Structure 1
Amino acid sequence: MSDSYPRITIDLVLDRLTTKDALQGVLHAIFFHRLFGLVKPQTFEVLDVTMPGVANAEIEQLVKEKVDSFWKAMEGGPNKHGQVVVTFSEKRTRKSSWFQVYMGEEEIPWEQWIINAEIRQPKSDRDRQAFHSSLATTLTKSIETILIHTSSERGRTAVPLITNSSGISPFPIKVTVSVGGVEVSS
């Protein structure tokens, strides 16, 4: 298996008030630009930054579960660094190497989004205002990163042929949450 697929990293520094909304907004923005089925759009306002989203019960539930898992792990432990990783894969037929015998299907990643998140707490109202201003700029840059990658040659060619048009995504999606280097279950 080749590890040459694109890995896009988004770094966020959050506070307790913005963690859930910011993560939800970034995850929805990624899905908005990487789902290939019939996508009903919606928007999220996070610190006066309008972020695109997907109005789909399955995606909304997935995002909510992963953001809640991240939040609970951050609240419950001393570590304030975490990561949410979204991996898009394609299903391929697995064959044995010598006789080309069908061995089932395997998921081969074709793109990965890595959201590194750190929670800090501003000390005063003035710090909070500066912090939120900085986070709004970071969220805007995150959307730019998503747009630039998905519209780039590398971003377009990473997408495998779409052979299944049922559902909102023809590709398996895996979202993992880890805090302090330990994967957190939903």
Structure 2
Amino acid sequence: MVMSTTATITIDLILDRHNTRDVLRAILDAILFHRLFGTVKPKTREVLGVTMPGVSDSEMEKLIEEKVDAFWREIEKGRSKHGQIVVTFSEKRPKKSWFQVYDEDVPWEQWIINAEMRQPRDHDRQDFDTALSNTLTKAIQTMLSHTSSDRGRTAVPLITKAAGISPFPVRIAVRIGDVEVG
């Protein structure tokens, strides 16, 4: 049996109520842009002066919207100011049990977005937005350097089926505190 190691990439964000949704949509869109291997129609999104790549696909856009909304609803309830969105790419591998053979999802890469909510004072707004803009630029650089690196390229399993926008299962999980939501 071959043991696989899951590549893990972490992006830390400090957000406020004003820009949370736009930033999270843009980050998720950019991750999917770099990791969907089917025929992708590209798009761009401007967030705080940073041009972010994305995927023009109604199914992926709906998934992103659902997960960002789930994150936002739970943060709005005020139970926690910290949350996490985890994007997991996996491959289907046959697994044998006593009486059957079935496919199991085996993760090959995870993107962990740690988000902390803060509310800057009015006189700190420009500095806050500038810092977040720099974080977005750094996140794009992280995506590019990882996906083009040897480690990032070898993490991708052999593509055996080219159906749809992704030959691999994609899962996006939202956690607020230690509870998965949405």
With structure 1 as the length reference, what TM-score do the two structures score? 0.94
Instruction: Give unpaired runs (5+ residues) of structure 2.
Output: none
Quote the residue 1:179 is aligned against. Answer: 176
Counterpart position of 1:40: 41
User: What SS class does the counterpart of residue 71 from structure 2 fall into?
Assistant: helix
Is the Cα contact below 8 Å between 1:28 and 1:63 reproduced in 2? yes
Q: State the match for 2:82 in structure 1.
A: 81
For residues 11-50 of structure 1, the aligned pairs below 5 Å read 11-50=12-51
The one-letter amino acid of 2:160's match is: T
Shift of 1:4: 1.7
Which consecutive residues of structure 1, in runs of 5 or more, have no partner in the other structure? none
Q: Percent identity?
A: 60
User: SS at 1:60's partner residue?
Assistant: helix
Give the superposed CA RMSD. Answer: 1.3
Q: Deviations over 1:152-182 (max 9, x none)?
A: 0000000000011010000000100000111
In the TM superposition, 1:120-159 aligns within 5 A as 120-124=118-122, 126-159=123-156
Task: Please give the alpha-carbon distance, in whole angstroms, between the structure 2 residues aligned to 1:58 and 1:13.
Answer: 28
| Paired residue total | 181
Distance (Å, rounded) in 2 between the aligned partners of 1:55 and 1:68: 19
Could you report, residue by residue, the CA deviation over 1:73-125 in whole angstroms, capped at 9, with x for unpaired residues? 000123110000000000011124xx8x752110000000000001100112x
3-state DSSP of counterpart to 2:13: strand
Report the secondary structure of 2:26's partner residue: helix
Q: TM-score, normalised by structure 2?
A: 0.96
Which structure 1 residue ranges, 4+ long, deviate > 2 Å from structure 2?
Answer: none
Of 104, 107, 132, 2:105 maps to 107
Query: Partner of 1:13: helix, strand, or coil?
Result: strand
